[in-house]
Structure 1
């Protein structure tokens, strides 16, 4: 065994060598031997939890990126892999078989060498090095040399060994679009006509959609995307009740027992030892009471437990240049060896797979550690958490984000995906030296995604003889997607290329595994697979594929099948992995060359370099549809086939005349772009965020870093300004309730700033998000079509309110005023229920709160779940302000900036960032939640880059040596 030589929990200090002479006296040190490392290296963890990796070779830098990702985020990345490969059932039981089958439908199944070649000269080597690092740490955990993260104890599972191909074969976490919109449009076209769909989704540039020849819009089933939804959803756990339903969090603690495990072990994923679960929330018979444990008061520690920092008690680092003394990062050596209840539990032992374990046909991976015996106390079956009807759908990584976790009703899924077009986006801008106070470029980026804990993003600094790059990426992937090297900075937002289509097939009545293509019956490919199941028999499943992609649904009664085509199935479209190519570019030409290979997600990349140049370039694999527009499903009979645009046909700009360039997911095809021929996409985010950003930047020719940070946290909603303008024309009758008249005056006097302490923002957001569209929709569409108009329809409904037409009847203006008055009435009633009758006490931040939910919080007793989760944090912002803070029907913030970064290009140490809620995935670490207060308050931490600045900010140093 390769035992680590130092342990933060034990407080072992190593005498400072020459390289450490200038470190703060408070910095702690640790040394370890690492198998697979080629040369001595070190990791300096700064006081904000950012690891700065100094390696002797480029390969070692990527190896240590993987090793360190596992050190800080092992549960998260392991769950990402299991979800993406369709291996959840092996670890968590038969409740996940349907999701596993769905995930396997969307794996990359093409030529793996073509896949590697698509990422440039280093992609394959970097992935192999990264995976070697992950596996080195995983093996130390399995050998007992490193502590088992708490979530594995809660779920009775263990981490798995990876293959390099795992990094790129998983596609279902990528952000592509617009299959769900095609289904909605087909339903509205069937129920009324295709023009009526403009009330659901605005099309830009101006476009007249057509029903493809041969398509019956009424043939599209409402639930055609069920498998797609399952494959793209997050994973969140609960313990089942005795009747099979999911139990609420803490129910197992209240009863004092868990549901019994059934069946013999047949899976190959690892399970925790049959000892007390090593977690801060595990229930034991001694804990059992007739009622769930009471939630501790803020700042209190539950009896007999080690404290996990809560949001009120967490000490947020000051956003200053000079780092303050900081506490030891418990996660630096795994961090969970001090978790309550773990003292008597072994950290884990390696286990060989049983000889009769089913082969893993989906991932071609080696046998993995065995599943738990039925007698294990941690081996109770798990189920996906029930969906929250108030939470929006989310296509996210395999972590919890507090959103949908199991299948929503099809209509709800479609409606919420439509809302995502406008509510989950990103901002970025790049500013030329001529418009900054320092004479150096500024580059800013804040990508918006669904919130969770741990964070979707992980900030890391890679140093080796061939690279020095820092920034954020997704922890399960090698490379840096948002950040800078010594010469250039880069940041991304989604550029809404339409990268999905649904194909409809006529089936052979005599053989349902054949479909008509080019006048002939063609065989589907039928793939039979085995899904190992923890504590149960392995499940045999079938998946069918046409030439276009996986078959989503078969309508046997009408001899139809429906398949899904996506760029996912093309080489080079593993989400964000293309960053390993562009992160090493040193100038615009090298960056353009790398971006010409970048395929997914489709991105607006902004650029700035130390020579003072700025630019924007679109990176995407963009389907070319010569004879249709991609807005509706199409027959799969050979008449409608994809080509692909050349990368040179996508827009870019170098040193723009305006002196800056900004994007916020809005339609930003340049004037004169041949959109009618290229048809890259017609469904974009509302331009409110972009318009506010350009309003600010265009008025300032001496922009500072502070200005850019303030703009990222700007609560001005131009959508609310439009709403205020509408309500300034509303006159309520004297008989109207006084509360409505007072609220109208509040809105009419409002500036549209969605500040946390604003009463007008409270009623305005309640009105906009929950009452305007439901009030207007029945006036323009009959039920049930009106129900398809959710929050995603706010933009076209607002357009209609500003320019009412005959869709509202014979007197459009009067109908508009009636809609506005009725929506106001509903909003006032709801806001009063939420905040009380005294409008002077209304504050938006009292209901608009950020909360980051752990995937395993549903397995914890109530008093402990709050220690795994982060929040609530009161905040301003909205879906339409630069500080994007989208929310569910309970006004809980579900998505927004996952990471913020502002770069002082060339003076890199002056750059600033904030991740949220923290860098660590270990609930016992100070860095699990320490950045959340900064994020909520609009504050930042230094993104230190130079060796001198890194050493000055050092909190913990890990010396690593190759194992002999």
Structure 2
């Protein structure tokens, strides 16, 4: 009997069955689908050791919950730990007065404004980034610590054996090259900046271990010192990358419904290059996708669902379209509604530096923002930077793969994972071919699957390339400096004081000549090998377009179309941009609802629903019951179209179909039997009937806001007391996944920025829930109500404006 293995296959090969069963907690099950029913699929279900089981038995309340890209289990009561009381709660970090810090050369001033944004003024670059690290750790140390453990694959150390496989897969996608080339890719001073930043973080860590913050007391571990190399992690870049998951789904679709229909459902992202037929696409298992989803996630929380819906909007207008006399830039990245936010606002000033904007709390510099000369924002790009390669194994040696007629050794790296509750670390193997990490084996066919992605190259740590952008002296320099930004792939929009605007894709994209990259390629022949990288100068971009505007929104047809429609109108100012960022007009509805004008239903409730939609204003407002009906109808249309593929693919396809508008506007026999238009019209009615039935069954024929709210979830918001102390919300949700104000699947625009290039002090921002992660801080949730009401606050830049809004001043002096 053949075995198809994924995940921790290397370790389990080397152990006899009796040992495997005890240490790995193996479960054997049959998978469904064509041919794969002949396999035994080995899934690792890690169980606790005896000592851990007894520990958990003594705990009264355990909960699992998402934290960014992870699942964390924390014990909130029992186990000898009670929630922190108001009398023994640790003190908040010092934010006013004078503080002596070892490691500084000269005094540094930190002014926090009314909204908790720190404005740091230093006399040298080293001191500037030392204090940035210190200040961000003051506000977000627990978040930073948890991020580092998560992306490094070290959650099992503090959370136990359930995280072993997740940690091992996360470690497989990390950078394995030379650090000198890595640091040089970000710029000549990137390593020095990172080192100063980390020294500042460690200055705060040394304070925190003496007076442990509340979050660490509840979590049950202590913060550790950082290294500059911690900033070079690849997990965030991997989670933002695209390509390999689509290859798995497309291969399965082609096997099920043929190439033509598969391309219509999941359009390929590259020019068509004929496949050589070397790979049996029917052998590609859905478990490859499941394995890749373990990077940054937990091994036991899996389904065929795709990633959490995410995206972003960014646009800029030229002075000719602006009422301010200069360009305007707007951006609203869509991330999970987490508390703390995944962004942190900061202003950095030192000789050669004057930049303000949003960064990841664990990184130096600013990723979205402006300096004295240029402003920029970005939208995530789905450009393909990953490929799967099928490797032929040597039947006589499972550690060799075929390469152009001969067999070559696989690189094997042995590593240990420390596991809480176990006396000995868990040992496992990572295997690599020239194409990348092996993530799956097919023993029956003597095949292995290798994952290659751009993140294995130097200079691809997520957002570290922003250090070069922060000092751009204008739009021309900004475009050139984008060569330092390689991951995550992003479409930048920018505008300068010189009046120029532009848009540019920034990414490290492989050059493919022998294959399309749309389906897995044969690793043994060399035809699919990457031939290098597409030069940055060849990537798409525009400079001063004739229309006077640029838009980036993940190539999302509905959002791009709606934003473009509004930018083409009268001249705009900052307040107009605020309204546009909160626009909830359903562009999809404007295309689809007119199709209902030519049809009728003999069923009274369906006909009544049709008439309601025809009269609706197409806005996804919290008070609208028609919005609830429309979104249910659109979702039912997607579900019914997905039924055209076999059952095992339907649920995953539903999560990947970005839009069915074009399929419905121009029906074809590829999707509709018989007469395409009449078949399409029947589908419209059937979907409306299904939507109404579904809503009535759930008693959900209510206003959109009664069904959809937003709560900013904190990693410690476990149980009723944890929820009350750490979570922020709920707030009514407006919009859905396809409106400019995109709220879907627990993600959306928690940060919005608008930069007025003609007067930086007129720039505004809104972010939720607050700058601090501590519930005891006045800046824990002070921005949430502003954000929920659509209210922005000034993002001050000049010294005069800063002093007008100064809340506290901390002077840091060297020891």
TM-score (norm 2): 0.85
State how far apart, in whole Å, the 2-side matches of 1:208 and 1:108 are: 31
Residue 214 and residue 804 in structure 1: after superposition, are their counterparts in 2 closer, same or farther (change >3 A)? closer
Offset at 1:168?
A: 0.8
The partner residue of 1:450 within 329, 336, 344 is 336
Q: Is the 8 A contact 1:443 1:607 kept in 2?
A: yes
Per-residue CA deviations over 1:104-145 (Å, capped at 9, x if unaligned) read 111111011000010112211111111111111101111x1x
Q: Could you say which residue in structure 1 is the equivalent of 2:638?
A: 773
State how far apart, in whole Å, the 1-side matches of 2:193 and 2:222 are: 25
The partner residue of 1:813 within 659, 664, 677 is 677
Offset at 1:150?
A: 2.5
The partner residue of 1:715 within 572, 584, 589 is 584
State how far apart, in whole Å, the 2-side matches of 1:118 and 1:599 are: 9
Determine whether 1:924 maps to 2:779. Answer: no
Q: Could you say which residue in structure 2 is the equivalent of 1:954?
A: 806
Offset at 1:451?
A: 2.0
Q: Is the 8 A contact 2:318 2:326 kept in 1?
A: yes
Per-residue CA deviations over 1:135-183 (Å, capped at 9, x if unaligned) read 11101111x1xx4232222221111111101101333454110111110
The partner residue of 1:232 within 293, 296, 307 is 296
Determine whether 1:36 maps to 2:103. Answer: yes
Q: Could you say which residue in structure 2 is the equivalent of 1:596?
A: 483
Secondary structure of 2:671's counterpart equals helix
Per-residue CA deviations over 1:183-242 (Å, capped at 9, x if unaligned) read 01111111221222134323468x657544301101112111334212132xxxxxxxxx
What residue ranges of structure 2 are gaps of 5+ in the alignment?
1-88
State how far apart, in whole Å, the 2-side matches of 1:426 and 1:570 are: 26
The partner residue of 2:704 within 841, 844, 865 is 844
The partner residue of 1:634 within 499, 518, 521 is 521
- State the Cα RMSD in Å: 2.1
Secondary structure of 1:790's counterpart equals helix
Determine whether 1:728 maps to 2:617. Answer: no
Q: Is the 8 A contact 1:194 1:209 kept in 2?
A: no
Q: Could you say which residue in structure 2 is the equivalent of 1:665?
A: 554
Q: Could you say which residue in structure 2 is the equivalent of 1:433?
A: 319
Determine whether 1:61 maps to 2:61. Answer: no
Determine whether 1:862 maps to 2:720. Answer: yes
Q: Is the 8 A contact 2:100 2:813 kept in 1?
A: yes
Secondary structure of 2:295's counterpart equals helix
The partner residue of 1:132 within 199, 202, 220 is 199
State how far apart, in whole Å, the 1-side matches of 2:616 and 2:197 are: 52
Determine whether 1:878 maps to 2:736. Answer: yes
Q: Could you say which residue in structure 2 is the equivalent of 1:407?
A: 301
Give the structure with the higher percent strand.
Answer: 2
| Map 1:326-475 → 2, pairs under 5 A | 406-409=300-303, 412-413=304-305, 416-417=306-307, 423-475=309-361
Q: Is the 8 A contact 1:724 1:750 kept in 2?
A: no
State how far apart, in whole Å, the 1-side matches of 2:477 and 2:417 are: 44
State how far apart, in whole Å, the 1-side matches of 2:483 and 2:280 are: 38
Offset at 1:805?
A: 2.8
Offset at 1:77?
A: 0.8
Residue 941 and residue 750 in structure 1: after superposition, are their counterparts in 2 closer, same or farther (change >3 A)? same
Residue 168 and residue 775 in structure 1: after superposition, are their counterparts in 2 closer, same or farther (change >3 A)? same
State how far apart, in whole Å, the 1-side matches of 2:212 and 2:608 are: 57
Per-residue CA deviations over 1:553-576 (Å, capped at 9, x if unaligned) read 111222110011110100001111
Q: Is the 8 A contact 1:437 1:704 kept in 2?
A: yes
Offset at 1:950?
A: 1.4
Residue 588 and residue 776 in structure 1: after superposition, are their counterparts in 2 closer, same or farther (change >3 A)? closer
Q: Is the 8 A contact 2:170 2:294 kept in 1?
A: yes
The partner residue of 2:115 within 48, 71, 88 is 48
Determine whether 1:153 maps to 2:217. Answer: yes
Secondary structure of 1:61's counterpart equals helix
Residue 81 and residue 786 in structure 1: after superposition, are their counterparts in 2 closer, same or farther (change >3 A)? closer
Residue 212 and residue 447 in structure 1: after superposition, are their counterparts in 2 closer, same or farther (change >3 A)? farther
Per-residue CA deviations over 1:441-471 (Å, capped at 9, x if unaligned) read 1111111122211101111011112211100
Residue 196 and residue 753 in structure 1: after superposition, are their counterparts in 2 closer, same or farther (change >3 A)? same
Residue 786 and residue 836 in structure 1: after superposition, are their counterparts in 2 closer, same or farther (change >3 A)? closer
| Map 1:653-802 → 2, pairs under 5 A | 653-666=542-555, 686-700=556-570, 702-733=571-602, 736-738=603-605, 740-769=606-635, 771-778=636-643, 780-793=644-657, 795-796=659-660, 798-800=662-664, 802=666
Determine whether 1:496 maps to 2:390. Answer: no
Per-residue CA deviations over 1:12-48 (Å, capped at 9, x if unaligned) read 99xxxxxxxxxxxxxx833211121221112111111
Offset at 1:406?
A: 4.5
Per-residue CA deviations over 1:237-258 (Å, capped at 9, x if unaligned) read xxxxxxxxxxxxxxxxxxxxxx
Structure 1 ranges of 4+ moved more than 6 A: 8-13
| Map 1:67-216 → 2, pairs under 5 A | 67-142=134-209, 144=210, 147-174=211-238, 175-203=240-268, 208=272, 210-216=274-280
Q: Is the 8 A contact 2:93 2:138 kept in 1?
A: no
Q: Is the 8 A contact 1:31 1:958 kept in 2?
A: yes
Secondary structure of 1:756's counterpart equals coil
TM-score (norm 1): 0.73
Q: Is the 8 A contact 2:381 2:490 kept in 1?
A: yes
Residue 611 and residue 556 in structure 1: after superposition, are their counterparts in 2 closer, same or farther (change >3 A)? same
> Which one is further off, 645-654 or 561-570?
645-654
Q: Could you say which residue in structure 1 is the equivalent of 2:415?
A: 529
Secondary structure of 1:78's counterpart equals helix
The partner residue of 1:610 within 464, 475, 497 is 497
Secondary structure of 2:116's counterpart equals coil
Structure with larger RCO (C-alpha < 8 A, sep 6+):
1
Secondary structure of 2:765's counterpart equals strand
Per-residue CA deviations over 1:417-464 (Å, capped at 9, x if unaligned) read 4xx6xx421111111112111211111111112221110111101111
State how far apart, in whole Å, the 2-side matches of 1:12 and 1:820 are: 58
Residue 474 and residue 47 in structure 1: after superposition, are their counterparts in 2 closer, same or farther (change >3 A)? same
Q: Is the 8 A contact 1:903 1:910 kept in 2?
A: yes
Offset at 1:540?
A: 0.8
Offset at 1:715?
A: 0.5
| Map 1:290-309 → 2, pairs under 5 A | none
Q: Is the 8 A contact 2:91 2:213 kept in 1?
A: no
Q: Could you say which residue in structure 1 is the equivalent of 2:29?
A: none
Offset at 1:743?
A: 1.9
Q: Could you say which residue in structure 2 is the equivalent of 1:378?
A: none
Q: Is the 8 A contact 1:187 1:218 kept in 2?
A: yes
Secondary structure of 1:728's counterpart equals helix
Determine whether 1:541 maps to 2:399. Answer: no
Residue 763 and residue 595 in structure 1: after superposition, are their counterparts in 2 closer, same or farther (change >3 A)? same
